[in-house]
Copies of this chain bind each other. A is one copy, B any other.
Amino acid sequence: MTTAKRDTYTPETLLSVAVQVFNERGYDGTSMEHLSKAAGISKSSIYHHVAGKEELLQRAVSRALDGLFGILDEEHARVGPAAHRLEYVVRRMVEVLIGELPYVTLLLRVRGNTDTERWALERRRDFDHRVAELLRAAAADGDVRGDMDGRLATRLVFGMINSIVEWYRPGGRGMVESEVADAVVRLVFEGLRSAPAGPATSNGPTS
């Protein structure tokens, strides 16, 4: 027997329960009944907070999207050479993804069956385009290689960053956010290959 607990939820805390359920069951597979059980309050208590589950989805993906778009308004994303701005945006994307992990996870799983999902996909595409433009500007400056299609490069970089939601678990014995962000920035901009040792760093025998 489950006893409904007293409704002490704020919009924030109810949202965090809903996002967890959406990520576990999928948005389509989640009913108000599931949300009520997970939150431990009645359905009518949930309706006191929100109009329905689509409003919860809308708030959750908005939080992820606001985090991502917020990056583009930060000073280092607006001022300076395009290559520096691009590097800053890539690092901040990893930080926002990890900082808002369940919300970004939900955003990345959105498929487009409802108005809210279609709107979220549209906003994601806008964000992708903004970053692709930055990449093209950096290529035009000669700071980023020009021998690669900008859209393809953006997709691959986003693919790498977004894949972090598949394995990153906060608070575990795993890596801290800055370690992951550093690795992504290095890999994306410098690649895996060791820089050829120049004369200054050569450690060969100096007879």
In the complex, the answer to whether B193 meets A145 with C-beta atoms within 8 Å is yes
Nearest-CB residue, chain B, relative to A166: B159
Indicate whether A119 reaches chain B with its CB closer than 8 angstroms: no
In the complex, the answer to whether B180 meets A144 with C-beta atoms within 8 Å is no
Contacts of A145 in B (CB 8 A): 186, 190, 192-195
Interface size classification for chain A? 35 or more
Indicate whether A148 reaches chain B with its CB closer than 8 angstroms: yes
Nearest-CB residue, chain B, relative to A197: B142
Option from B143, B183, B190 in Cβ contact (under 8 Å) with A152: B183
Indicate whether A158 reaches chain B with its CB closer than 8 angstroms: yes
In the complex, the answer to whether A148 meets B193 with C-beta atoms within 8 Å is no
In the complex, the answer to whether A149 meets B192 with C-beta atoms within 8 Å is no
Indicate whether A178 reaches chain B with its CB closer than 8 angstroms: no
Indicate whether A163 reaches chain B with its CB closer than 8 angstroms: yes
Indicate whether A73 reaches chain B with its CB closer than 8 angstroms: no
Least distance between A32 CB and chain B CB atoms (Å):
21
Interface residues of A (CB under 8 A from B): 83, 135, 138, 142-149, 152-153, 155-164, 166-167, 175, 179-180, 183-184, 186-195
**Can you name 22 A-B residue pairings with CB atoms under 8 Å?**
A83-B193, A138-B192, A144-B193, A145-B186, A145-B195, A148-B186, A149-B175, A149-B183, A152-B179, A152-B180, A153-B187, A155-B163, A155-B167, A156-B184, A157-B187, A159-B161, A159-B164, A162-B163, A187-B191, A188-B192, A189-B191, A191-B191
